[in-house]
Amino acid sequence: MHPDSRAVSPVVGVTLLVTIVVLLAVTAGGIFLGIGVEEAAPQVATDTEIEAQYDTEGAIAEYVLVAHEAGATVSREEIRIVVTAGDERVVDPPLVSGTLGAGDELRYDVSGVSLCDTGADAAVVTLYHEPSNKPIAEHRIRIEYDASYTGGDDNRNRGTTLVCS
């Protein structure tokens, strides 16, 4: 054996030890400081409809219905809904009923805005996951204007198009 070859082993060992300590320090710092840790929004498949109810005097009650079709179950307290039509924007309209689990439906009252009065040709409904502040879904509801429309036989209109008189 050559006497010079024994000095390489301590240098390699010290280099590996320093590398491991630095990697552990960076990993621990990232975990404790929250760097790079981001909560993901749950994967949820939803469908959105609009329901309008007309009374004999032409007054209208409007509801946005959000149906859970597949994916993760999300607590309704974790959902923020934003409805935008023209210049009008409603954040978290009153929840009338429902839960957001498999096959369930949430029903929000948007009568306070009156989507028919916005003059817009569509309303956009966006659902956000509150803890992650990320959008879960976005749906478009068409708005049509027909002066002769009276709400049909049952004084209701439900679907992906809102018909306004």
pLDDT tens, residue by residue, 64-95: 888 888 888 888 788 899 999 888 888 988 88
| 17 within domain boundaries | no
Instruction: List Cβ<8 Å contacts ≥24 apart for 30-34.
Output: none
Instruction: List Cβ<8 Å contacts ≥24 apart for 65-68.
Output: 65/105, 65/106, 65/107, 65/108, 65/158, 66/98, 66/100, 66/105, 66/106, 66/108, 66/125, 66/127, 67/104, 67/105, 68/44, 68/100, 68/101, 68/102, 68/103, 68/104, 68/105
pTM check: above 0.85: no
Number of domains in the chain: 1
pLDDT at 6: 58
Q: What is the residue range of 63's domain?
A: 44-163
| 146 within domain boundaries | yes
Q: Which of 158, 156, 84 lies closest to 121 in space, CA to CA?
A: 84
Lowest mean pLDDT of 4-13, 69-78, 104-113, name the range. 4-13
| 6 within domain boundaries | no
| 121 within domain boundaries | yes
Question: CATH no. for residue 151?
Answer: 2.60.40
| 36 within domain boundaries | no
